[in-house]
Amino acid sequence: MSDDSPLPAGQKVADDVAESEFERFGEAMDLDFDKSHMDEEDKKGFDDLKRIILRALKDGSLVVNDDGCPFYKPKHPDSGNGPITFNEPKGAALKETDKKKKGHDVGKTYAFAAAMTGENESRFSNMASRDLKVCLAIVNLFMGG
């Protein structure tokens, strides 16, 4: 895409800028985005998460702040008030998942998300799907690595 051509409808950030911001986020959070050691299933999973995050970066609902933390502004009014900052999780975020019963994987994920964002788990439970998939993509990158 040349600099003088307009972005596609609904896109506020150029593809290369979104890609650069995704990489900056990964570097700032010390996430392993190297697919050379992944099996095919892991590569597909990573590519799916990246696609969701890039789409949100391109439409401007997700930005990476100066510290490299994702900052998401939900699109749907049912997704709660105000933006969500995904801070680098500490060990306590992972420990929160231990409070959930075995097999309650969604609950564990929401507990981890709540711990890293300072939000209540109910915010994620009540979130509209369009916003939840972006939030879960970010969370899953941290939980996977």
Residues 60-98 pLDDT 10s: 999 999 999 999 999 999 898 899 999 998 877 766 666
pLDDT at position 2 is 46
Query: Beta strand 84-85 with 62-64: parallel, antiparallel or unpaired?
Result: unpaired
How many beta carbons lie within 10 A of that of residue 132, not counting itself?
Answer: 19
| Percentage of the chain exceeding pLDDT 90 | 72
Between CA 98 and CA 101 the distance in angstroms is: 7
CB 69 within 8 A of CB 88: yes
In terms of Cα–Cα distance, which of 109, 100, 115 is closest to 141?
Answer: 109
Q: What b/e sequence results for 57-66 when a residue is b if at least 16 CB atoms lie within 10 Å of its CB, and e otherwise? A: bbeebbbbee
Which residues fall within 8 angstroms of residue 102, CB to CB, at 6 or more apart? none
pLDDT at position 1 is 44
